[in-house]
Chains A and B, each alone.
Chain A
Amino acid sequence: MAATTLAKGITTGLRAAMEKDPKVVLMGEDIGKLGGVFRVTEGLQKDFGEDRVIDTPLAEAGILGTAIGMALRGYRPVVEIQFDGFVYPAFDHIVSQVAKLRARSLGYVAMPLVIRIPFGGGIGAVEHHSESNEAYFAHTAGLRVVAVSNPHDAHWMIQQAIASDDPVVFYEPKRRYWDKGEVGDGPDGALGTARVLREGTDVSLLAYGPMVKTCLQAAEAAQEEGRSLEVVDLRSLSPLDGEAVLASVRRTGRAVVVHEASTFLGLGAEIAAMVTEEAFHHLEAPVLRVGGYNVPYPPSRIEEEFLPDLDRVLDAVDRSLAY
Chain B
Amino acid sequence: MPVRHTQRCVRDVPRSGPVTPGPEKECPVSDSDVAPLETAYGVQHHVTRADAPGRPAHEGGPEMVQLLTPEGERVPHAELDAIVDALSDEALRGLYRDLVLVRRFDTEATALQRQGELGLWASLLGQEAAQVGSGRAMRRQDYAFPTYREHGVAWCRGVDPVNLLGMFRGVNHGGWDPNEKNFHLYTIIIGAQTLHATGYAMGVQRDGDVGTGDERRDTAVIAYFGDGATSQGDVSEALVFAGVNNSPVVFFCQNNQWAISEPNEKQSRAPLWHRARGFGFPGIRVDGNDVLAVYAVTQQALDAARSGQGPTFVEAFTYRMGAHTTSDDPTKYRVSAEVEVWKHRDPIERYKRWLLTTQRADASFFEAVEAEADELGTSVRERCLAMPDPDGSSMFDHVYADPHPVMAREKAAFEAYHASFEEVR
Contact = CB atoms under 8 A, between A and B. Distances in A.
Given A61-B233, A106-B172, 14 more contacts: A49-B2, A50-B3, A50-B5, A51-B205, A51-B206, A59-B241, A62-B240, A64-B195, A65-B238, A69-B203, A72-B178, A165-B402, A166-B401, A192-B404
A57 B173 contact: no
Interface of A: 25, 49-51, 56-57, 59, 61-62, 64-75, 89, 92-93, 96-97, 100-110, 141-142, 144, 164-166, 192, 239, 242
Given A69-B203, A73-B207, A105-B175, A164 B401 contact: yes
A313 B154 CA distance: 58
Interface in B192-210: 192, 194-207
B405 A239 contact: yes
Nearest to B395: A103
B108 to A, nearest CB: 24
B417 interface: no
A302 to B, nearest CB: 34
B366 interface: no
A57 B237 contact: yes
A22 B251 CA distance: 29
B173 A72 contact: no
A97 B196 contact: yes
B401 A110 contact: yes
A90 to B, nearest CB: 10
Contacts of A108: 176-179
Contacts, number: 140
B174 interface: yes
A57 B240 contact: yes
B372 interface: no
Interface in B69-90: none
Given A66-B202, A72-B184, A102-B398, A93 B237 contact: no
A288 B172 CA distance: 42
Given A51-B2, A73-B207, A141-B399, A101 B199 contact: no
Interface string B350-383: 0000000000000000000000000000000000
Contacts of B176: 105, 108
A155 B206 CA distance: 27
A166 B196 CA distance: 18
B195 A165 contact: no
A72 B200 contact: yes
A239 B406 CA distance: 7
B238 A73 contact: no
Contact of A70 (B172, B184, B200, B404): B200
A89 B232 CA distance: 12
